[in-house]
Structure 1
């Protein structure tokens, strides 16, 4: 073999190695770029409302946790203090998907579902308290984005707070009737809920009675069913096909559905499937409105990480104690002192 042949082969190998290196570098850049784009996309999905600034100091005191002696490292530890989150399901956003699922326009906003999620100190147990939307309350004066404020309303339906003042008024009204500080606010719309269920591969629920509701287009025999997103949403919204047709019957179904969703999420190992993980995260963030304390993917991930010890069997579901309103048989009011005692237990 001549020196020229050896030189040509060496040069060829160098060119091949260079090409392979460039290809690998390109793949890495593309991969990093894709991950970066995905993170940006998911992060930008989230909409937020600055509730703290809007309400100022006119609200229940925030409980400030005392750092333990072990929390002295430079790396910030995961939070373990008790937490109260107001979770609303709404039909507040217009759009083809929401309209197809029965949602209203953005000018006719309603909070279809309201739950106060109380996470115990240590974050290994939780209580979910449903507030019937037909509850008559004293709706406090709420600041408006356009300036000014709403008037105090006596004997107003609870879900009217969202209609007149959006998330800020919903939070203020809940804090007014409970005297419990809401640490965070989370809202998800119709299409987002349906997408989440579909991204998880559906959800399995058991009903103990037949459901026939033409309004929600839901017809289910008593028993166990695996539901897709559209049917699960119909289950969460149905009221005329069960019990006495009141909101209390619907709340029972919603609580069953929440527990089933928690079990489905727990059983789905998202970390083993990046595609499913992205699909679920996109479904959640794409239809989410939060307070500014949860308006980034990093903050949501931190919250999720702090709740990793919370299993579905450690989650209790209850409804705020109510009785029929003296002024209207189709409305309810808080039952005292039971309601006050419940809220006291969450402070």
Structure 2
């Protein structure tokens, strides 16, 4: 059973606010690499490149949607992020789902605007009932489609390729890149930056799944962090919906930690994080090197943390089975916004989480969220999802 770590208290200093960007992490990481090794950046880059797994699924994708021409200095990007995991093996059965090999825990469409000034991730529930299209395996064999089928069966049957095929057919969105993240390396990524801060509204004591998390705001490391993003039974009143929101909040908080002084001033943490991250991802051929990933990251130089937002596809209960979900008709409006690279308004931003405010609620940044303090209704919604203000 995990023991509580005492909250870290740091003296606050008055200083001029500044807008952190993704480019800050990229530039400082490069400097960190140089400082951390006496043999130079090139050797470390080669090591990190050697960590990367690359998968070409282009020949497995059919009937792909065309991209719409939009105005802007660059082409908008749609990146499909998949978090996959195996519960087999000692210590991996945190949520009681041992067996079945690799499965999809998290799927998110990350849309990056043509002007690179805003980005948002849309989480897709794994238990949503959808029309899964026919897919093709790496060996050219056909995987029959199914309707209705749980969304995450696409990954279980056909991995990243079938998941991309399913998302493209359901949404009409052309996926430009994909990133498949193995949660097996998740603990190392969190430990590399000395933990990630979360706020837990109520203590979780779940001996059946070996999870114990004390209430309060504190930094979680390693296994505790993995338990936090996987927990399905006590922390939220709506199982996988709450878990998705906590995963969004955790990713947002991790982004916040990466641009903090605690990380940027520590080359050892930067190198450790990059080493753990590159060991944990599978990428498409257009992102097959640290250099290409850095080039992509530098395109975010104007993207502040308050412009990196996370939402969930509009969903409702699936009538034949209340334990399952279904996308609502409002999802079509969301896909149209992404296809045409348009900002998402308040009507599609319920429960938005930003990297600037990882716990969710109001940001007051004029991007469609309500300004001011978090309302009682918002606080109740956060609590229902296992979050707090």
Structure 1 stretch displaced more, 101-110 or 140-149: 101-110
TM-score, normalised with respect to structure 2: 0.71
The residue matched to 1:302 in structure 2 has which SS? helix
Per the alignment, residue 57 of structure 2 pairs with 51
Per the alignment, residue 89 of structure 1 pairs with 83
Contact 1:212 1:242 in 2 (8 A): no
Q: In the aligned structure 2, how far is the partner of 1:89 from the partner of 1:326?
A: 28
Q: How does 1:55-74 map to 2 (within 5 A)?
A: 55=61, 58-63=63-68
Contact 2:87 2:93 in 1 (8 A): no
Per the alignment, residue 161 of structure 1 pairs with 154
Q: In the aligned structure 2, how far is the partner of 1:319 from the partner of 1:214?
A: 30
Alpha-carbon distance change, 55 to 106 in structure 1, aligned in 2, over 3 angstroms: farther
Per the alignment, residue 279 of structure 2 pairs with 286
Per the alignment, residue 302 of structure 2 pairs with 309
CA radius of gyration, larger in: 1
Q: CA deviation at 1:220?
A: 2.6
Structure 1 stretch displaced more, 213-222 or 173-182: 213-222
Q: In the aligned structure 2, how far is the partner of 1:327 from the partner of 1:103?
A: 25
Cα RMSD (Å): 2.6
Alpha-carbon distance change, 150 to 253 in structure 1, aligned in 2, over 3 angstroms: same
Structure 1 stretch displaced more, 140-149 or 105-114: 105-114
Q: In the aligned structure 2, how far is the partner of 1:110 from the partner of 1:315?
A: 27
Contact 2:71 2:114 in 1 (8 A): no
Alpha-carbon distance change, 188 to 276 in structure 1, aligned in 2, over 3 angstroms: same
Q: In the aligned structure 2, how far is the partner of 1:129 from the partner of 1:332?
A: 16
Q: In the aligned structure 2, how far is the partner of 1:346 from the partner of 1:335?
A: 16
Structure 1 stretch displaced more, 103-112 or 192-201: 103-112
Q: CA deviation at 1:295?
A: 1.5
Gaps of 5+ in 1: 1-29, 69-79
Q: In the aligned structure 2, how far is the partner of 1:197 from the partner of 1:308?
A: 24
Per the alignment, residue 42 of structure 1 pairs with 48
Q: In the aligned structure 1, how far is the partner of 2:59 from the partner of 2:149?
A: 25
Q: How does 1:43-192 map to 2 (within 5 A)?
A: 43-55=49-61, 58-63=63-68, 80-92=74-86, 99=92, 108-192=101-185
Contact 1:161 1:173 in 2 (8 A): yes
Residues 271-316 of structure 1: per-residue CA shift (max 9 Å, x gap): 6544332211101101111111112111111111112332222122
The residue matched to 2:259 in structure 1 has which SS? helix
Of 327, 338, 342, the match for 2:334:
342
Alpha-carbon distance change, 327 to 181 in structure 1, aligned in 2, over 3 angstroms: same
Per the alignment, residue 327 of structure 1 pairs with 320
Per the alignment, residue 8 of structure 1 pairs with none
Alpha-carbon distance change, 261 to 339 in structure 1, aligned in 2, over 3 angstroms: same
Q: CA deviation at 1:121?
A: 2.2
Q: CA deviation at 1:225?
A: 1.5
Q: How does 1:197-212 map to 2 (within 5 A)?
A: 197-212=190-205
The residue matched to 2:286 in structure 1 has which SS? coil
Per the alignment, residue 18 of structure 2 pairs with none
The residue matched to 1:293 in structure 2 has which SS? helix
Q: CA deviation at 1:107?
A: 6.4
The residue matched to 2:105 in structure 1 has which SS? strand
Q: CA deviation at 1:86?
A: 0.9
Q: State the aligned residue count.
A: 303
